[in-house]
Each structure stands twice: as structure tokens, then as C-alpha cells.
Structure 1
Amino acid sequence: MIIGCVKEIKSNENRVGLTPDSVSAYVKAGHTVLIEKGAGLGSGFKDSDYKKQGAKLVETAADVWKQSEMIVKVKEPIKVEYKYFRKGLILYTYLHLAAVKPLVLALIKSGVSAFAYETIKDETGLPCLKPMSEVAGKLSILEGARFLYKNNGGNGLLISGVTGVNPAKVTIIGGGVVGRAALSNAYGLGADVTLLDINEDTLTKLKSQYPNIKTFKSNEENLIESLKDADIVVSGVLLPGAKAPKLIKRSYYKQMKKGAVIVDVAIDQGGSTEVSKPTTHAEPVFVVDGIIHYCVANMPGIVPKTSTIALNHATLKFGLELANKGAEKAIKESEALKAGLNIYQGKITYKQVAEAFDLEYTTL
């Protein structure tokens, strides 16, 4: 199969779909790999690194799209890339379709087979989502702490506190991969951490691992109470492939501290506050009712080398399976890839995406 990898063009996105090591694996499996010139520079990979591993360098993204049978990306295609879609093409990337109706319609119209990293599911959970969720969770605390600084509009607190001065209060919603990664960083920095989750076993395990945290069952009453004193709020709620629930109501802001920071890691799936809207690393925040909202839709893009390597460790296995078998055989033989297929030959095959826009769902 001819595998293509293009430079990411979303704002401040420096990750790349394939590392040179991944190129080597595809080439050794008998495939041809096309890399757009300069695609890996943002992640620290030179064109010569790819060439050494057997890749063919291509001048333009248009030529890569045109010549490839499978495109491996990081982020969902943006509007200027829709023109490259065509019937029979395999698209293998993060898609987050429940938040982007125009992309859904463009994929349906074109007949692309679209596999989403975030819905590939195996016995370990969501293996291709996990590494970026971990990066985003760790970053959520670092970025939240940055926007507590007075010069960034925050309330002037140092997250760790100092002798005689209390640390910042951090509320984490959700004890999944994002929440645990955020907890690890916040706890390590000495923050005063409260964590909410719907699963009591999760709360028990995390309390045992991090004895100084406060834990509460996630419900409206406990959420409102936990938000009142929070300086940083990290929302890591996830309904795989579906729109994120709007857990944080605007009405709650009246009882929150002015200058508090909400880091909405769920923004890829539409966000978990009533006012959330995607932002970029160039302009990461906006303020509503005195509350700072950080809603960057590609958080790991700011640490592209770490993120790209971690992502490839997870995605290579399934990408090779797709390339070796082709889309049809792969979904027949792999439950993981079957779960990852969101749109196939003009039909929505992932129920939550169809439900998000009241469109027709077709079973495989």
C-alpha cells in the first residue's frame, strides 16, 4: 500500500503522523511511504531522517494526498484539506467528529474510509487516545498554573504555595487518563487537590495512592461545592466518540473565584462548559464572567517531540494492520479497528457521531 504523511497545518500544531522509526516499520512490511518535505521538522525530525528509513520525499501536500492510498495524520483535516478526499482513500488520524459537522458531511460525500484514533478500542481500553490524554492531563496543570499568574490575568497565586502561604486549590473532574495525569502533576507540585469521579472504586484507589487529596462522588451538588474554592479546574470527562457533557454550567460561575482557570481538556469533543469554544496555542484563553477558560483543542501540539513519539508507539500497530490487510479485511479481523471506523463508503458507522447531529447511522 502507498502510505502518505503530510505536514499538519492546524494552528500551532507541530506533531507529525509518522516518525522515521514508524516509516521504517512500514517499509520493512513492504509498503511505500510518502512524506511531505518538512513534515517532521516541528517534532525534530529532518527530511534526511525519513529518507534514511526508506521514505520518498514529496514536494507538496497535494501530491501526497493524491498519490496515497492511506493518509496517516495527527489532527482531523481542516476545511482546506477537504478537497483532497476521494472514494477509496483510508484516513487514519484523530477525528473527533462529534464536534465537527462540516468534516462529517465532507467525509460522507467523498466516500473516504475514516478511522479515528480516539475510538479504537481493545482489551486495554482506548490505546491510541491514551498517550495524548496523558500528555494533555500533565499539561493541564502546567498551563493552568501559568494562567494563575497575574500578568496572564489570573489571581496571582503560585500553585505550590510557599512556607506560610497555602498552595492553589485544584479541582479535577474525572479520574480517567487525563484526570490521573493531572493529579500526578498537581500533587507533585504540592497543590491542594480535589478529585471527582462517578466510580467509587476509582476514588478509593486514587486516595490510596495520593493520601492528601480530597475525593468526592461526581454529582451536581459536589461539583458546585468543589468549584467554589477552586483556583484551577481541570475537566477530563470523556464519552468515547460522543459529545462531551456540559457539566459546568455558567450559573455556577457566580460562586467561583474571579481569576480562576478552567482547563477544558474535553474541548476536542465539544467542551464541558456551556461557554467552551476551541482556542489555539497562539490565543489559548478567553474570559467569561471573570473566569479564565483555556480550551486549546490540540494541547499536546505544544510538546510535539514527546507527543509524536508517544503517539506513534500506540498507532503504529493498528496502522500496519490497516496497511497489510486493507480496510475491509482489517475491520473483519480486528474488533479494535472495527471500533475505530467512524465513516465507511459514505455511511456513518459510529453511533455517537450520528446521534450528535441527528444523522443516519448504519451498522457495519
Structure 2
Amino acid sequence: MHKISVFGSSCKKNEKRIPIHPALFEQIPENIRHQLIFEEGYAASLGVKDSYLRENFGGVVSREELFSLGDVWLLPKPEKEDFKFFSEGKILWGWPHCVQGHDIAQAAIDAKMTLVAWEAMYGGSDRTHVFYRNNELAGYAAVQHMMMLTGKTGYFGRRLKAAVLGFGATARGAINCLKSLGIVDVSVYSQRPNHLLNAPIESITYKQMLRRDGKTFLEGNQYQDFVTPVDVLREYDVVVNCILQDPVNPIMFIEEQDMACIDKQMDIIDISCDRGMGFYFAKPTTFDEPSFNVGAHINYYCVDHTPTLYWDSASYEITRSIMSYLPEFINGTWKQNPVLTAAVEIENGLIINNKIIKFQKRNPEYPYIRK
């Protein structure tokens, strides 16, 4: 039987989500509970006491002790401060984002660690993202936050027009938030033709996005009339980017030379949060400085962990997503689950996801020195 270290704090500033919500403690089987070791003060903000965790689970220890005691680390947001604890044979199960994260990839290689990525977990015949509810909440929270920061709502003031790029779970959350704020003039640009969209949301205009010879085009005012993205986006007050990028072949919507075409105020909410992708100025922002101005007209927002705004609800959804996989890690049978094996980015220091090698320009042979 393997033990799982359950972290209740994050070195990422303002990150408040926890991986197992106390409202769902009772659903964890008895034999599984005693293999879970919690961080001191876990879920204290939700009224949980360490004495309760000691009595009903496998123990309570300091954050530092969790790294040595647990075989599997249930750590949603690993940060640089955590890398010094990486050690051979340990498994990190969370959001490592190691394709674009050189430092965490290198730390895992050097320590011969295994990284199982939440962002790469897909299941079912339609390959639904296991954390799709968290992704929906990311879209909802980002739009809500930016609209508050910019002092706008669709129910009062001037009429607002919004574009949503992509139509996955994040986009659904963004659309639902826009509608809840009274913004009803919403257009969605998807790479799929309209008739192939899965469960479209009512009262939304759907248009197509086209990739041709490495360039991106958006459908204009006329059906199947594809033009450069800036010619379309410059007409919107709010642009929400929800595209799932391929880091090796990114989609671009606004390049530096396009700035002269933008002559009105535009709020860009970049939920994809991919540095240098989508927009030439794209980079993650923080809750301390959530947005910045680009040129005279663009206000750009790119906080990369918006669900933490609704940390209680987000933690509940995370728990529902991971609950069924806990026994497999504890019993040591997780490699028999295709959802988990497909999410292995690095295994015992060996790179499994070749996109890490391509994006980081590494040598394809161990120890994967950068070129």
C-alpha cells in the first residue's frame, strides 16, 4: 500500500484551492482514508481541525514532512520552492505544466521523479477532460474578475459586444458568465464547423476559425468569408481567449504589426495563459497586477489560476475529479488505468511527452540537454 501526501497550502501566491474538499471526506472508503496524510492546518478555513484528521485519516504532519512520507504527492500547484524536495521514486500528481515549464521538467529529470499531469487527463469515448468543471470555472471566474476590474456590466451602461475564441469547457464558463452579466451580443469562433459543435449554447452567434499554411483566419461578416483575426477582433469590446494551444505550433490572433489597426478600447481576457501565444504580448499576470495596457487601446488580463477566486467551489470540483483515482495510486495499480498512463509527462526522470523535448529544444536522449 502506498501513501498519498495531501497538501493544503501552496507556494503560489494567492492560491487557496485544496485537492480534497472536507464536504466529501465521508465518501472516501475507510481503507483509503488511512493512507492519506494531511498537511498541518489542512482546510482550517473550512472548519477542519487537525485532531479530526488524525483520528480519521493517516496522520497530520508539516508541509516539509509530506515530501518524504508520501509516495504520491497530491499537490495541485507545484512551485520552484518545492523542487528542492524532489526525490527519486516519488510521484507528483497535480498541474505541473512541464511542456512550457523548463524548471520543473529539469528538476524532475535530475531527481528521477514521475509527473502525472492533471492537464493531460482525458477520459471516456469522447475524451472529456477530467477537470472540465475546473476549466469551466476558470472561464467564469476570469470574466467575472476582469469585468469588475474594468468597471463594466452588460445590464447598465453602454451595450457591450464580446468574442470568445474556442468552444471547450473554459469557453462555456466564460459565455455563461458573460450572459449572467447581461452581455448578450456574444460570438464564438471555433475551429469546428457550426453543425459539428457539441451542445451549443442558445442565443450565441457561432462562427468558424480557420488554419491555413500556419496562419489563422476568422470568419467575417459574410458566411465563410475568412479574414485576418485583427480585422474581426477590432470590432469587439471584450475578447476572451479559450484556445487550447499546441506549444509547438501556436495560433496567433494579434501580432505586433496589427496594433495600428486597433482604434477602440478592447479588453482581452486570456484564459489560455500561454506566454507568447495567441497575442504577441501574451504573458501570465498575477492577482497583485492582474492586467496591463498594450498600446493606447488594449487592456490585457491573464491571471493563470482564476478558479482560486472561488476556492471553495473549485476545491469541491477538483475532489470530484480525482476521487475515483485515489485507490489506484494507493494500491499501486495506477499504471493499468489508461487515463493516468496517458497523463504521465515524465517517468522516473525519463521524458514521456515528446512535446517537452520539442518545445524546450532539448536533446532527444537522456539527460535531455537543451540545444
Q: Tell me: CA distance 1:324–1:256, structure 2 relative to 1, closer, same or farther (3 Å).
A: farther
Distance in 1 separating the partners of 2:66 and 2:309 = 25
2:110 aligned with 1:118: no
Distance in 1 separating the partners of 2:350 and 2:338 = 19
Q: Structure 1: 5+ residue runs without aligned partners?
A: 150-157
- Tell me the residue number matched to 1:69: 71
- Tell me the residue number matched to 1:209: 201
Q: Tell me: CA distance 1:302–1:46, structure 2 relative to 1, closer, same or farther (3 Å).
A: farther
Report the Cα offset of residue 44 of structure 1. Answer: 6.1
Contact 1:3 1:32 in 2 (8 A): yes
2:321 aligned with 1:304: no
- Tell me the residue number matched to 1:343: 346
- Tell me the residue number matched to 1:288: 294
Q: Could you say what the CA RMSD is over the residues aligned between the two structures, in angstroms? A: 2.7
2:252 aligned with 1:260: no
More helix by share: 1
Q: Structure 2: 5+ residue runs without aligned partners?
A: 211-215, 218-226, 366-371
Distance in 2 separating the partners of 1:202 and 1:300 = 31
2:334 aligned with 1:330: yes
Report the Cα offset of residue 23 of structure 1. Answer: 8.4
More strand by share: 2
- Tell me the residue number matched to 1:238: 244
Shifted more, 303-312 versus 221-230: the winner is 221-230
Runs of 4+ in 1 over 6 A off after TM superposition: 240-243
- Tell me the residue number matched to 1:175: 167
Report the Cα offset of residue 350 of structure 1. Answer: 1.1
1:63-142 mapped onto 2 (5 Å cutoff): 63-75=65-77, 77-123=78-124, 124-142=126-144
**Post-superposition CA distance 1:60-84 (Å, at most 9, x none):** 2111111111110111x21111111
- Tell me the residue number matched to 1:154: none
Distance in 2 separating the partners of 1:270 and 1:125 = 27
- Tell me the residue number matched to 2:186: 193
SS state at 2:293 partner: strand
**Post-superposition CA distance 1:191-219 (Å, at most 9, x none):** 1211101101467666x632353534344
Q: TM-score when scaled to structure 2?
A: 0.84
2:352 aligned with 1:359: no
- Tell me the residue number matched to 1:152: none
Report the Cα offset of residue 39 of structure 1. Answer: 3.3
- Number of residue pairs the alignment of both structures matches: 346
Residue identity opposite 2:75 in structure 1: K
- Tell me the residue number matched to 1:278: 284
Report the Cα offset of residue 114 of structure 1. Answer: 0.7
Distance in 2 separating the partners of 1:104 and 1:278 = 19
- Tell me the residue number matched to 2:213: none
Contact 1:194 1:213 in 2 (8 A): yes
**Post-superposition CA distance 1:311-340 (Å, at most 9, x none):** 110112223322222xxx422x22111111
Distance in 1 separating the partners of 2:153 and 2:92 = 41
- Tell me the residue number matched to 1:19: 21
Contact 1:137 1:182 in 2 (8 A): yes
Contact 2:141 2:309 in 1 (8 A): no
Shifted more, 261-270 versus 93-102: the winner is 261-270
Distance in 1 separating the partners of 2:259 and 2:330 = 49
Residue identity opposite 1:285 in structure 2: S
Contact 1:137 1:181 in 2 (8 A): yes
Q: Tell me: CA distance 1:215–1:318, structure 2 relative to 1, closer, same or farther (3 Å).
A: same
**Post-superposition CA distance 1:240-261 (Å, at most 9, x none):** 7878544332333333355422
* 2:229 alignment partner, one of 223, 228, 232: 223
